[in-house]
Amino acid sequence: ASLSTTWLRNTLSYIVAAELSIIANFIPNDRFTFNTLPGAKRPWLQRAGRFHMTCIVGASLTFLIEAGISSFTKIDPTIAEAIATLVVLIYNFTAHHLFTYRHVKQA
């Protein structure tokens, strides 16, 4: 397969995997991890949308960090993915606290 075909296949696979991961992670995080934060009082659809937006940014960062590390260094892509995942773990947890489940403003 050509480089462009491989890149496209890898990119599409990553998008599908990221989307499935976001969906699979929302429910337990919403129910157990962040359920005591003020934003947990928002409607379910609003929490799901905010969670999704935060995770899409995180997945994009993971992809870009992994691609950068594996493209510009001799580090194995699997190790690069692990490094990217650890870095983005910090972003995700912080972003969910500050955006997804932050205090709900009263009207």
Q: What are the structure tokens assigned to 82, written together?
A: 């692990």
pLDDT of residue 46: 92
Does residue 80 contact residue 69 with C-beta atoms inside 8 Å?
Answer: yes
**Per-residue pLDDT reduced to its tens digit, 5-41:** 888 998 899 889 888 988 899 999 899 988 998 889 8
Query: Regarding predicted confidence, which is higher, 101 or 1?
Result: 101
pLDDT of residue 105: 74
**Per-residue pLDDT reduced to its tens digit, 43-72:** 999 999 999 999 989 989 998 999 999 889
pTM (2 d.p.)? 0.73
Residue 3 scores a pLDDT above 80? no
Cβ-based neighbour number of residue 105 at 10 Å: 6
CA-based end-to-end distance of the chain: 57
Residue 1 scores a pLDDT above 70? no
